Copies of this chain bind each other. A is one copy, B any other.
């Protein structure tokens, strides 16, 4: 009997182990294709052009699931995090936990054609004034395809957004995929990038690809605004006939990130090309960044006539700024940060960018002169569309995944080599 009892105990034990292993394996099997539920360790070492190993730190990816197509995030002074979802919600991570209830007070924002709620940022003096800013696409009444791009602001008291007001609205509209990202410059002005649609999404009276070269349109531009949405008097094209007063720079396709360089204070922007031609640009007032006249990309259709994108071999042109760096083919550049933290000493001074179609985080390694010397793909194993890349106040990296089952990913050091950074 004792033997039988022990037999059963062993059976039970084995069964539990077996079940655990099967479950673990089932959880693991799709791992190359889906985001794991728990933390996972990666090695950033890679092999260089000749095959020799270039060592890099290990890092741990800690996912926080429960988001739908998150787009942008803002770190609050108390360490909490605001996250926009394309479908019009602002979510909050409070004390490390994602609140299932969205922030109250937001208007209804339709989520169509990759439009919806986009970027979010706090006023530089948020502690004093509680202003939070966001961009979204406001549907034309009675026309579900056309939308104006809106920069709005409201007050955030930790629970709800109130006093929301649309402080800038484009005077024409757009159909189809576009993006609206913004940043506060060191001069306190808002630099707002407004994208143009793909050529096949043009409609009479709406913005088209060629708006990016049209100074009388807000689309395909970097705009410069005061913090109340009014137009600064010292804008580069102020008073110039045929130019919108808000214009700061022209020839932008679809900016996916616009940030301030942590040392120089320059405005850095990145954007997607169609089939190649993703760019990082340093945005200077009054300059023209070339889309769709010049690009290192081609039309999605392969067309090189110039009708649906740059013509064959139109890479540069007089009076148009070449990118600081470009990609071909496209990785769907999206999200960007200069890493300045202490958590990963080896990564200090590198640029990190996200890839949508490229499903990766990419580290752009710079030399002592700040020029790129290498680009290391990271996290390709996860097969996640990376939408946003930010450095947290804790010196860790935070990513958002552009997925139906989207997530916030925290990237933190592993082991003794980097634990000193904590």
Contacts and interface: CB of A to CB of B under 8 A. Distances in A.
Interface of A: 3-4, 7-8, 10-11, 14-15, 17-18, 21-22, 24-25, 28-29, 32, 47-51, 114, 177, 272, 275, 296, 298, 300-304, 313, 315-316, 322, 326-330, 332, 356-357, 359, 366-367, 369, 371-375, 380-381, 385, 402-403
Nearest to A328: B328
A11 B402 CA distance: 46
A47 B313 contact: no
B381 A177 contact: no
Contact of A315 (B3, B17, B315): B315
A403 to B, nearest CB: 8
Contacts of A272: 49
Contacts of A50: 114, 177
Contact of A356 (B7, B28, B51): B51
B49 A302 contact: no
Given A298-B372, A301-B367, A385-B47, A14 B25 contact: no
B369 A302 contact: yes
A304 to B, nearest CB: 7
A332 B49 contact: yes
Given A47-B357, A313-B316, 19 more contacts: A3-B4, A7-B10, A7-B11, A11-B11, A14-B18, A17-B18, A18-B21, A21-B21, A24-B25, A28-B28, A32-B381, A275-B374, A296-B328, A298-B371, A301-B367, A302-B373, A304-B371, A315-B315, A329-B375
A372 B21 CA distance: 46
A326 to B, nearest CB: 6
